[in-house]
A and B are shown apart, each in its own frame.
Chain A
Amino acid sequence: MKPPPFDYYAPASAAEALELLGRYGADARLLAGGQSLVPLLNFRLSAPAVIIDLNRATDLAYIKEETGRVRLGAMTRQRAIEFSPLVKSRLPLLAEATRWVGHLPTRTRGTVGGSLAHSDPAAEYPAVATALDAELVVRGPAGERVVPAAEFFLGLMTTALQPGEMLVEVRLPALASNSGWAFEEFSRRHGDFAIVGIAAMVTTERDRCRSARLAACGAGPVAVRLRGAEEILEQGGLGDLNINAAAARAAELVDPSADLHASVEYRRHLVHVLTRRALKRALERARGGGAAPLRS
C-alpha cells in the first residue's frame, strides 16, 4: 500500500494553489485533509501525476458570520467546526452532523471542503449542504462562480467542479427563528460511513410548517433532497400522521443500492424511520427552543 510516484507541491495560499492547478489541470489532484485521497493513493486506485497539498493555504481556513449566513473556508477542519461556538449557535445542524463524521483523529485532519468536493454518497456534509441550499464558491481560471448545492452534487463522487477549478468556500444560511433541526444517522458502528443519514430543518409559524428541509445520505449515488416529503409537511403541517406520511414519501424518493452492510429494502426502510425520528426531534426543538438531547 504505497502510492505510485507523483510530484508534490505545497502552495502557501489559495492563489498559488490555483496557479498550480491551472498549470497541471486534470493531471493534478488537490489534497485537503487526505482522509479519502491518501487511501485511494495507497491502494493505487488514484494515480495523479501531481499532488497539490492545500494544508499550508491557511487563507482557506476560516469561519465567518455575515447577516443571515455563515461562510466556511474550504480548508476549515471538521474538528474546528465541531468546537466552534459560532457554528453551534448559527449552524446547529452542521454541528450535530459533524458528530457523525468519522472519528476524532480523522476530524482533526478532515476538512469541510474536502468532504464536499469528494461527494461520497454516504458522507454527512453533502446532505447538510443539500438540505440547507448551501452555496458553494468555486474559483478557477475564469474567476469565481457560486454554485447552489442542488447543482453542485451531480452523481457518485462527481461534482460540478471543472478541471482547473477548486472549491474555496461554502456558505450556509444561519438558523432562522422558530426553527428546529436534527441529524439522524444509522451506521454499523459509530463513526462509520452512514448506512442512512437524514438532515432535517423545520421552521414553524404558529401551528403551521413554514418550511421543511430534508436531505438523505447513504440512500443513493449522491446526497438527495427530499422535496416531495418537504411539500407534504409544508402543506399538511407537522402532526404525527403527516410526519409519518412525509417519512413514507421520503422512502419512495430515494434510490439506494445494496452493499455488504445493507440491502436496498433495509436502506429504504431506514430512510422512513430516520426521517420520522429527525422530524420529530426537529419539531421539538422548533417549539421548545432546541433543548432536545442528541441521540448517539
Chain B
Amino acid sequence: MAKWVGQPLKRVEDPRLLTGRGVFVADLPLKDPYAAAILRSPHAHARIRSIDASAALAARGVAGVITGADALAHTQPFAVGVQAPVKYYCLATDKARFVGEPVAVVIARDRYLAEDALELIQVEYEPLPAVVDPEDALKPGAPILHEAAGSNQACHREIVYGDVEGAFAAAAVVIRERFRFPKYSSTPIETYGVVAAYDAASGVLTITSNFMGPFILHALVARALGLAENRLRFVVPPEIGGSFGIKTSIFPYLAVMGLAAMRTGVTVRWIEDRREHLLASSSGVDRVAYRELAARDDGTILAMRTRWYDNVGGYVRSPEPGCTFRPVGNWVGPYRFANLAADAHVVLTNKSLTGPNRGYACGHLYFEIERMVDLLAQRLGMDPAEVRRRNFIQPGQFPYRTPSGGLYDSGDYPAAFERALEAAGYDKLLEEQKRARAAGRLYGVGLAVAVDPSVSNMGYITIALDPAVRARPEYLPKSGAIESATVKIDPLGKVTAILGTAPQGQGHQTIVAQIIADELGLAPGDITVVDEMDTFTRVWGISSGTYSSRFGSVGTSAAALAARKLKDKLVRLACALTEAPAESLVFADGRVMPRGGGSRGLTLKELAGRAHWNTQALPPGMEPALEATAVFGFPLADSPDAQDRVNSSNTYGFIAEVMAVEVDPETAEIKILRYVTVHDAGVIINPLIAEGQIAGGALHGLGGALWEELAYDSEGQFLSGSFIDYLVPSASQAPVIEVEHLATPSPFTTLGAKGLGEASSMTAPAAVANAVSDALAPLGIAITELPITPSRLWHLLDAARRRPR
C-alpha cells in the first residue's frame, strides 16, 4: 500500500537551502528595526551594587537601556520546575550567577552602535566566591547562589523501584564506579535570533524568533511579561538553522526582548553572536555519578544503584531539571533487571544554564550503564556481548513495563544486537585485536546498546516533585504528548498541509508530502507543506514543537489522521453524489470506487471540484470545505503515579553499536577504525533523512566524548569562548558510519514509526569509551570520564606505564 513512505526521496527543502534562498529570522524584512546588544557579566558570581546607564542612554543612536530594575518592576520570575525558591528573571536583578549572564540590554539604531554603548554602562560589581563543581557546591561552606534556597541543591529525589537491598545482598558480584560526563552543547549553524514588536493600540506583543517548542514555554513567557496568552504572538519564520534541542532555551531572550520592545516602543532585533552562543545559550549538564551494579556470577544483572549530581548552572531554567528525569521510564535501558535505586541531585553552580541537548540525559545514562556492563564482563572474564545477551528484554515481552514505569512499545533487542555484531564482523575484530596486541598495538572493540526514547510525556518532569506534593489538592497534574496537523484539498484536487511543529531542518515538508501522497493516492509533488509557525493562526498544543525526536511518530500520526478524515469525507460525498449506499464505496488509489471494483469511480480531483463549486449539492449535514485538522495524542502518556512510575516517553527504539579503535601509544590519538550502528526506529519513512539523523547524532555524541567541552576554570571563568577552543568535529573527524535498520513497528503510532533524531548521540560516548577502555585494558586503564582528550589519555597511559606491575 505504501508507495512513497519508505522511499529515500530527496528533500524538497534542500534546493532553497543549498542555494541560499532559505528565509531565516535574520533575513526578515522589518519596518524600522533597532538592534539589541546585551551586556553580560564578566564575573562568575557577583553582587550587582549599581548600574549607571546614563552615558549609554546619551550615546549616538541609542533608543533605550533595559536593566534588572526594569525586569523587577515589569516582569515576573519564570516558573521553575523545582520547589527550591530559585528566582529566575530575564535579566540579573540582585546578583550575576555565571559568566555571560545578561545584565543589561542596549537598544540602538544598529548593532555597532549598540555594542559601542554597552561599553559606556557602568556596573558596580562586588565579586563573590564562585563554585563550579556540583559536588563542591553541596559541601558545607560552599558559596550559596540563591540565599533564599539556603543551599545549592535545587532538587533532590530518592526513588527506589523493587527490592534493591535484597538484590545487592544476594549478589555474587558488585561493581562500583564513579563517572564524569562533560558539559557540551550543539552549536547549530544559526544562532538564536529574536524580533520583538509591541503594538500598544492592540496590546499585542509579536515575537518572531527561531523558537522550536515546546509550546509550554509560550505560557511561561506570557506569565513573565504579564500578558494574556492571546496578546502574545509567537511567529517562527520558514527556516530554522538547526537546534538539536538548544533552541528550546531561547525563551528568556523572548521575554527580555519583548520587555525591551514594550519599554522602548521600537521594533527590537537581536541576533545572538557565536561568542554569546558559546558563553550563555544552553548545554547539557555536566554530571558526576556513582553507580553500583549487583549481578549473579553468570552475568545476570540483578540491580543497580545510582547517585548522581546534575549541574544546571546558575538557575533552574525550564524544562530543567529534565536533565535528571527525562529518561525515568528507560532508566534500566534494554535490560531486564527489576531493581533500581536512584538518588538524584540537581545542583546550582556558577556555570551557564542547561537544557535539552540532543540525547537529553541519555548520553549520560548509557555512558554509565554500558561502562558498568563492560566492567561486569571484565570482572567475570566474560565476553561483553554475552553479558548483554543474557540481560536483554526478550522479544516476547513487549509491550514491556519497566520498573520505573516506562512502557516499551516494541522491539527485538537480541536480533538487532546480533545484526550489529554480524555487520561489524565482531569475531574477526576480536581476532584482529589478538594480532594487534601481540604486536604491541593498542586496539580495542567496544559495544554499546540503548533504548532510544522519543516523544516525551509532559508528565515526566513532575517526577522532580515529591509524590506528596503531587498529591495535594491544589496541584495540577501534567501529562500527555500531542501534535496537530491540518490538511486541505483545493478545488483542483491538490493538497496543502499545515503543521504546528516548528522544525529546524528535519525535512518535515518532505516527510509529510510522502505520507499524504500515500494516504490520498497523489504524488508528493502534489502536496505543499507549510511548516512556519504562528500561534495566532495555527493549531498548537502545550507539547507541540520539534524536540524529543517527536515528529517522526506524533507529527506524522497527526498528518496521516488528518488525511484520513478527508478520505472519509470524500467517500461520504461520493456516496451522496452517486446515490450509492453508505459503506459500499471505498477510497483507493486516489479515487473513490465501489468496494471490490467494477467502476472507475470518482477521482480526488472530480470530487474536490464538486465539493468546492457546488456546495448546495453536499449531502445534508455535511460541512462544506475540504479541510480537516487532526490532533494526535498518545494514549499512554499518563502523569506519574504515587510510586514515581511514569511512562516518560511514548515510543522506544533500540540502538546497537560496535566500534573498533586504535590508540597511538605515543601521542594517545584515538583512531576510529570501524563504527557500525543498527537502529530499530520502527517504520522508516525516509531512509535518507533517517540516516542523516543517525550520522549527525553519532558525530555529535563523538564530539561530546572526544572534542567538545564548555570548560571553566575553578573560579568560574569560561575557557571555551570561541571555535578555537570549543572543538566541534567536522568532516575530517567523521569516521565512516555503517548504518543498518531493523523495524519492529510501534503499535501506538499511526504509521508504526518511532523517533530517531537523537539516536546515536546517546550511544556514541559509551561505544567509544568502551572501545578505548578495551584497547587500554592490558595497561589496566578504564575510561570513566569524558571527553577523552589526547592530553588526558596520555597522562593515563603515562601513569599506567610508571605503575609497578
**Which A residues are within 8 Å of any B CB, using their own CB?**
1-5, 39, 43-44, 186, 188-193, 195, 260-263, 265-266, 269-270, 273
B707: interface (CB < 8 Å): yes
Instruction: Add 19 more A-B contacts to A191-B732, A265-B795 (CB < 8 A).
Output: A1-B273, A1-B275, A2-B112, A2-B115, A4-B116, A39-B722, A43-B722, A186-B667, A186-B790, A188-B789, A188-B790, A189-B730, A189-B733, A260-B709, A260-B720, A263-B795, A269-B798, A273-B666, A273-B667
Contacting residue for A189 out of B111, B707, B791, CB 8 A: B707
B6: interface (CB < 8 Å): no
Q: Is the CB of B116 within 8 A of A261?
A: no
Known A260-B711, A261-B789, A266-B790; contact A186-B116, beta-carbon cutoff 8 A: no
Q: Is the CB of A188 within 8 A of B795?
A: no
B794: interface (CB < 8 Å): yes
Q: Is the CB of A2 within 8 A of B732?
A: no
Query: Which residue of B has the minimal Cβ distance to A258?
Result: B791
**B299 → chain A closest CB, angstroms:** 38
Task: Note all chain A residues with C-beta closer than 8 A to B794.
Answer: 266, 269
Q: Is the CB of B669 within 8 A of A186?
A: yes
Q: Is the CB of B667 within 8 A of A5?
A: no
Known A193-B724, A260-B719, A273-B666; contact A1-B116, beta-carbon cutoff 8 A: no
Query: Which residue of B has the minimal Cβ distance to A193?
Result: B724
Task: Note all chain A residues with C-beta closer than 8 A to B112.
Answer: 2-3, 5
Task: Note all chain B residues with C-beta closer than 8 A to A195.
Answer: 790-791
Q: Is the CB of B732 within 8 A of A190?
A: yes
**Which B residues are within 8 Å of any A CB, using their own CB?**
111-112, 115-116, 119, 273-275, 666-667, 669, 707, 709, 711, 719-720, 722, 724-725, 727, 729-730, 732-733, 789-791, 794-795, 798
- Give me 30 A-to-B residue pairs in the complex whose CB atoms sit less than 8 angstroms apart, sorted by A's number: A2-B111, A2-B112, A3-B112, A4-B115, A4-B119, A5-B116, A44-B119, A186-B667, A186-B669, A186-B790, A188-B707, A188-B727, A188-B790, A189-B729, A189-B733, A190-B732, A192-B727, A193-B724, A195-B790, A195-B791, A260-B711, A260-B720, A261-B725, A261-B789, A263-B791, A266-B790, A266-B791, A266-B795, A273-B666, A273-B667
Q: Is the CB of B724 within 8 A of A270?
A: no
Bound-state Cα–Cα, A127 to B208, Å: 50
Task: Note all chain A residues with C-beta closer than 8 A to B116.
Answer: 4-5
Known A2-B111, A188-B707, A193-B724; contact A43-B789, beta-carbon cutoff 8 A: no
Task: Note all chain B residues with C-beta closer than 8 A to A269.
Answer: 794, 798
Bound-state Cα–Cα, A265 to B730, Å: 28
Contacting residue for A262 out of B724, B732, B733, B791, CB 8 A: B791
Task: Note all chain A residues with C-beta closer than 8 A to B709.
Answer: 260
Task: Note all chain B residues with C-beta closer than 8 A to A5.
Answer: 112, 116
Bound-state Cα–Cα, A221 to B116, Å: 32
Bound-state Cα–Cα, A193 to B795, Å: 21
Bound-state Cα–Cα, A195 to B115, Å: 34
**B189 → chain A closest CB, angstroms:** 15
Bound-state Cα–Cα, A44 to B275, Å: 12
Bound-state Cα–Cα, A2 to B274, Å: 12
Query: Which residue of B has the minimal Cβ distance to A192?
Result: B727
Bound-state Cα–Cα, A263 to B794, Å: 10
Task: Note all chain B residues with C-beta closer than 8 A to A4.
Answer: 115-116, 119
Contacting residue for A261 out of B275, B729, B733, B791, CB 8 A: B791
Bound-state Cα–Cα, A265 to B797, Å: 13
Known A2-B112, A261-B789, A273-B667; contact A189-B274, beta-carbon cutoff 8 A: no
**A99 → chain B closest CB, angstroms:** 12
Task: Note all chain A residues with C-beta closer than 8 A to B791.
Answer: 195, 261-263, 266
Task: Note all chain B residues with C-beta closer than 8 A to A39.
Answer: 722
**A44 → chain B closest CB, angstroms:** 8
Task: Note all chain B residues with C-beta closer than 8 A to A191.
Answer: 732
Query: Which residue of B has the minimal Cβ distance to A186?
Result: B667
Query: Which residue of B has the minimal Cβ distance to A47?
Result: B119
Bound-state Cα–Cα, A269 to B665, Å: 12
Bound-state Cα–Cα, A193 to B725, Å: 10
Task: Note all chain B residues with C-beta closer than 8 A to A3.
Answer: 112
Task: Note all chain A residues with C-beta closer than 8 A to B729.
Answer: 189
Bound-state Cα–Cα, A261 to B790, Å: 8
Task: Note all chain A residues with C-beta closer than 8 A to B274.
Answer: 1
Query: Which residue of A has the minimal Cβ distance to B35?
Result: A2
Task: Note all chain A residues with C-beta closer than 8 A to B669.
Answer: 186
Bound-state Cα–Cα, A48 to B727, Å: 30
Task: Note all chain A residues with C-beta closer than 8 A to B711.
Answer: 260
Bound-state Cα–Cα, A1 to B191, Å: 13
Bound-state Cα–Cα, A3 to B273, Å: 13
